[in-house]
Amino acid sequence: MAQPNVLLVEDDQLVRQLVAEYLRSEGMAVTEASSLASAKEALGRGRPDVAVVDLMLGDGSGLDLLREAGDMGLGIIVLSARGSPVDRILGLELGAHDYLNKPIEPRELALRIRRLAGLVGAAKMGQSNGDILAFRDFELDTVLRQLRHRAEGLVELTGTQYRLLELFVRNPNRVFERDTLVEQVFDRQWVGLSRSIDVLVSKTRAKVDLPGEPTLIKSIRGVGYVFAADVRKQKRAERSY
């Protein structure tokens, strides 16, 4: 497997240089960005496999970068000195796949980058045929990572809402336990996130449920959730809207 291409966004010059030097010693290609503006410029020039983003930047919040990076299909690891559950959940809601508290251990970060790059690469391989998953009046484009409604057009989703919905749509009528959803959507096991899944499901359900029709994401009491819908796989050329 090729070494990951990494965008490292960190405004502390010493930390950034030390981490970048270690990642390069591990064979990774690293683009450094010291600010929100320079990070956005870097994303405009090329597409890394993984973005490692510090939340507290001199010219803004790293949170502003998460959705843009998530829309590009990048793996995202957040670095932050703010490690409260609320901060972690907010980062995940906005599309981060992983979250590390400072101070970080470069070797651990390198391992997490490789793991995430592998997951993102496997997902891209699975999506390369351009299939679109259709249900009711919706189409989920797994390449563009977009949800469209026949009449309303593009439906805005956060990064975690998209990942949850794609998991459900790829596995219709399968019952998922809450802990399984935490592992699949957040890419790691975190005690205390089960109730956050309930909130995420509620917000995602609101994007796909239509007035007068049965809910698509059904609750299974004491267990978890199931996506109760017929899903059709379409080629891009067959797209109807």
Answer yes or no: do 20 and 120 share one domain. yes
Q: Characterize the bridge pairing of strands 5-9 and 50-54.
A: parallel
- What mean pLDDT is predicted for residues 24-47? 91
Report the C-alpha dihedral over residues 6, 156, 214, 186, rounded to 10 degrees: 20
Q: Are residues 12 and 105 located together in one domain of the fold?
A: yes
pLDDT: is 177 or 81 the higher one? 177
Domain boundary among 109, 127, 145: 127
Tokens of 73: 């299909």
Residue 126's pLDDT band, with cuts at 50, 70 and 90, is: low
What pLDDT, on the 0 to 100 scale, is given for residue 79? 87
Above 90 in pLDDT, residue 164? yes
**Which residues form the domain of 201?**
132-238
Q: Are residues 80 and 188 in the same domain?
A: no
Give the separation between CA 77 and CA 66, rounded to whole angstroms: 9
Instruction: Tell me how many domains the chain contains.
Output: 2
> Do 122 and 136 fall into the same domain?
no
Alpha-carbon gap, residue 58 to 69, rounded angstroms = 19
Same-domain status, 143 and 220: yes
DSSP 4: P
Q: Tell me the C-alpha distance between 158 and 218, whole Å.
A: 20
- pLDDT at residue 205 above 50? yes
Handedness of CA 85, 175, 212, 232 (dihedral sign): positive
Residues 120 and 161 in one domain: no
CA 181 centroid distance within chain: 13
**In whole angstroms, how far apart are CA 75 and each of 62, 88, 91, 115?**
14, 16, 13, 10
How many residues are listed for the chain in this entry? 241
CATH number at residue 177: 1.10.10.10
* pLDDT band, residue 191 (cuts 50/70/90): very low
Q: pLDDT band at residue 30, thresholds of 50, 70 and 90?
A: very high
Measured distance CA(162)–CA(167) in Å, rounded: 9
Higher pLDDT, 172 or 99: 172
Mean pLDDT of 170-187: 86
pTM more than 0.75? no
Is residue 80 located within the same domain as residue 193? no
Q: Are residues 114 and 18 in the same domain?
A: yes
CB atoms within 10 A of CB 213: 10
**Res. 88: pLDDT tops 80:** no
CB–CB of 178/197 below 8 Å?
Answer: yes
Q: Scanning the structure block, which residue is given the tokens 């990064």?
A: 159
Task: Single out the residue in 108, 127, 146 at which a domain terminates.
Answer: 127
What pLDDT does residue 95 have?
72
Indicate the residue among 127, 142, 166 that finishes a domain: 127
Mean pLDDT comparison of 54-68, 80-94, 202-216, highest-scoring range: 202-216
Residues 224, 143, single domain; the answer is yes
**CATH code at 122?**
3.40.50.2300
The tens digit of pLDDT for each residue in 135-150 reads 999 999 887 778 989 8
